[in-house]
Chains A and B, each alone.
Chain A
Amino acid sequence: MKFPEDLKYTKDHEWGRPDGNRLIAGITDYAQDELGDIVYIELNDKGSSIKQGEVFGTVESVKAVSELYAPASGTIVEINEALLEAPEIINKDPYGDGWMIVIEMEDRAELNNLMDSQEYRTYVEKEAK
């Protein structure tokens, strides 16, 4: 199970990679492993605005349908269209090609609400019931 050091994590198992005022976001290795094979993804429109903790899309696997929660507030400036055709990319490379959206952040300070790699690892170990 991978927990890259340079990412920020939500309690709902999304990750965010800050890049200036932008934040690239997706779901974690743990999340994709829990979901199993992902068969469908729906993402909010490019250009729409979102608040931290609000739903920015839905993923569906053979086991469950899960909502995706935004790690930061702002405008969705890019979505990963490749996933719509081939959602299995998320399983193969959750932190790389499996990225989902890019948010132009309103307030970078919001990232302080998220967990770092070590905190998230502990959180996952505790959650795995």
Chain B
Amino acid sequence: MVIRHNVTRSTELLEPVVYSLSDHGKNKVNPPRPFEAIELGDVDRPLVNHDLPDLPDISEVEVVRHYTRLSRLNYAIDLGMYPLGSCTMKYNPKISEKVAAKIGNIHPGDTEAMQTILGLLSNLEAHLEEICGMDACTLWPAAGAHGELTGMMIIKKAMVERGEDRREVLIPDTAHGTNPASCTIAGFKAVKVPSGDKGYLEASTLRKLINEDVAALMITNPNTLGIFEQDIAEISELLHENGSYLYMDGANMNALMGIARPGEMGVDCMHLNLHKTFASPHGGGGPGSGPVLVKDELAPYLPMPWIVKDEEERFRLLTNAPQSIGMIHSGLGNLSVLMKTLSYISSLGGKGIREAAEVSVLIANYMKKCLKDSYYLPYDTPTLHEFVLTDKYQKERGVTTMDIAKALMDFGFHPPTVYFPLVVTGAMMIEPTETEPLDEIERFIDAMKQIDELSRKDPGAFSSIPRATPVSRVDEVWAARRLVLTWDMVESIMGEPPSK
């Protein structure tokens, strides 16, 4: 294929991999050879690689243009609204980036400077404990699912210490999709619990299912329908009477922060998604961070290192806690995300944190009210920061949730989360977040109404939508059946017939 000669300034064409732009002598800057200076000592000579790394031979301007073109094929929160439900794609303030960048210059071997870093982290732990109403915290898990796993390992360890071998973890069908995997990897058996017609887990359902083998319940609150788990107090009582723990997936904490504290609901262990609730770039834009918070009873099992203060009031990292589950991440977790979070919390303050939650709930409810005549609303229980609509009305005209999602892209929006939660057929889970200006909210509502209008007038039109994106309608079934993972494979499948 001769794609390298396809010169364009538009974003319509496939951008080739940077290696295919490489040609001998294009790069006029000699790469450094830092490894030559290293004293090899006892290293087995035949294993030493004397070749330079296989980097593309390409000029600076080509590199810059390549990545700039790629960035224009992408969608980002800096371009427009990104209402992906349960993902809290809020705007990421640039001041947090600046703060995190400064910290990045500090070398971990600089013990004095590290006192500052550990002090900031200790401060962040205290903030998160305050927001959640919990007693202790670990900042190291790398993302939400890693936090879930860490939390489940802590609960497993607590069971071992108690001399019990409970195997079941109950998970409502409105919880996050990663929960069953996390508890399975920690050695438990995931048991699905049906939520009621009202869209939340009723205490009466739990009463029927609870037994001596239940180690914990893993609940997402508010759940993926955006509904607050209003039986939570009774649920936590039931669990505690049974000797079981209450785990809360805090991915939707944006609806609660500054207003309601999981610790006061009886939660024993939970994780936060700092990249969601506390505004650091995610979804391809940066790493995550999923701190775990626990009550005192579970604190001895927190992963190491622990940030502690010695007799001289200096911070140090404790690495010999006897009951700890051990290490779960190298270094200090995803430090840059932790610093962005501290910056975010410090900028907003207590009042600002609460206001962010309130506005996120207000905007989601305004949007729901404006859209519920055009799209079917499967649960009429009040919702918080997100809500679920379905394609029930549009499907009668032959237009599905996937068609609606694709059409939204033509209006310049990222689609909402689709076909999740699984308890709702044809779900569209919409979370606008508090950072969207009213104009953008109105534009989204208007786009959704226009799409509904189009489904009445010309349902056939959807088959060729989207048109305004770099790549038009893709054949998802074919893509899933025929995995293409490298650029070489792209060439090998050119010309193959699509699946239907």
Contact = CB atoms under 8 A, between A and B. Distances in A.
A60 B419 CA distance: 13
Interface stretch (B78-86, B259-267, B422-430): B422-430
B424 A39 contact: no
Interface in B414-448: 418-420, 422-425
Given A129-B424, A129-B425, A37 B477 contact: yes
A82 interface: no
B378 A129 contact: yes
B476 A62 contact: yes
A34 B390 CA distance: 13
Interface in A50-90: 60, 62-64, 87-88
A128 B425 contact: yes
Nearest to B378: A129
A129 B419 contact: no
B419 A63 contact: yes
B9 interface: no
Which of A37, A88, A129 has the largest number of chain B CB atoms within 10 A? A129
B369 interface: no
A34 B425 contact: yes
A9 B35 CA distance: 66
A40 interface: yes
Contacts of A37: 476-477, 480, 499
Nearest to B197: A129
Contacts of B422: 64
Interface in B373-432: 378, 390, 418-420, 422-425
B481 interface: yes
Interface residues of B, number: 14
Contact of B477 (A34, A62, A64, A129): A62
A37 B418 CA distance: 15
Contact of B480 (A34, A39, A128): A39
A128 B481 CA distance: 28
Nearest to A65: B177
B199 to A, nearest CB: 10
Contacts of B481: 39-40, 87-88
B396 to A, nearest CB: 13
A62 B479 CA distance: 9
A40 B483 CA distance: 11
A64 B476 CA distance: 13
Nearest to B401: A63
Contacts of A129: 378, 390, 423-425
Interface in B29-74: none
A89 to B, nearest CB: 12
Contacts of A63: 418-419
A87 B478 CA distance: 12
B196 to A, nearest CB: 12
A12 B476 CA distance: 26
Interface in B455-479: 476-477
Interface in A71-115: 87-88
Contacts of B424: 129
A62 B425 contact: no
A34 B427 CA distance: 12
A39 B499 CA distance: 11
A95 B355 CA distance: 55
B480 A40 contact: yes
B319 to A, nearest CB: 39
B446 to A, nearest CB: 27
A86 B420 CA distance: 26
Interface of A: 34, 37, 39-40, 60, 62-64, 87-88, 128-129
Given A64-B419, A129-B378, A129-B425, 5 more contacts: A37-B477, A63-B419, A64-B420, A88-B481, A128-B425
14 contacts: A34-B425, A37-B476, A37-B480, A37-B499, A60-B480, A62-B477, A64-B419, A64-B422, A87-B481, A129-B378, A129-B390, A129-B423, A129-B424, A129-B425
Q: Across chains A and B, which 9 residue pairs bring their CB atoms closest together, nearest first? A: A39-B480, A63-B419, A37-B477, A62-B476, A39-B481, A129-B378, A62-B480, A129-B424, A62-B477
